[in-house]
Amino acid sequence: MSALDDTDTTLYEQEIVGLSLAKEANVQRYAWAVGLRDAMLATTPEARAAAIKRMNDWRAWSHELSALAREKAQDDPQLQAAFKKLDELWKADQQASEGLMKLLAEAPLQAAHRCWPTCAIRWCSPGYLR
């Protein structure tokens, strides 16, 4: 019974926890894209700065979670190879992100949308972007 418990614990710690960490790192990467959208749609410098801060925080958290997941996969050569490929993709993604951030710094702020109640845009509602 002890051997079964030990094996179960090992599987949980190395497989399930690692998978959960990798999943959450991916979710944080998508959150970065939401922050980019928020920064592009910002109507004030403060809103844009807050969105950029969230983007940077989410990217950093994604990297931390990925590093923790990598630790859980130390004994698996296939997973280590996958993490190596992930590192290459992160570098390309980081370069693209830096380019977007430069463009974002030069982009004009969006005008506030204040056409309610006659707006034909379906997502427009009272209080939206006001």
Note down pLDDT in tens along the chain; length 130 residues.
Answer: 676 666 667 666 667 777 888 889 889 988 988 999 899 888 889 999 999 999 999 999 998 998 888 888 787 888 888 888 888 888 888 888 888 888 888 888 887 655 545 555 545 545 544 4
Total domains, the chain: 1
Instruction: Specify if 19 maps to a domain.
Output: yes
Using CA atoms, how far apart are residues 130 and 124, in angstroms rounded to an integer? Answer: 11
User: Residue 37 belongs to what domain range?
Assistant: 2-106
Instruction: Specify if 61 maps to a domain.
Output: yes
Q: What is the pLDDT of residue 16?
A: 78
Instruction: Specify if 71 maps to a domain.
Output: yes
Instruction: Specify if 43 maps to a domain.
Output: yes
Instruction: Specify if 115 maps to a domain.
Output: no
Q: What amino acid is encoded at 32 in this protein?
A: W
Write down the number of H helices and E strands in the chain.
4, 0
Using CA atoms, how far apart are residues 59 and 50, in angstroms rounded to an integer? Answer: 14
Q: What is the pLDDT of residue 53?
A: 94
How many CA atoms lie within 13 Å of 126's alpha carbon, on the beta-carbon side? 1
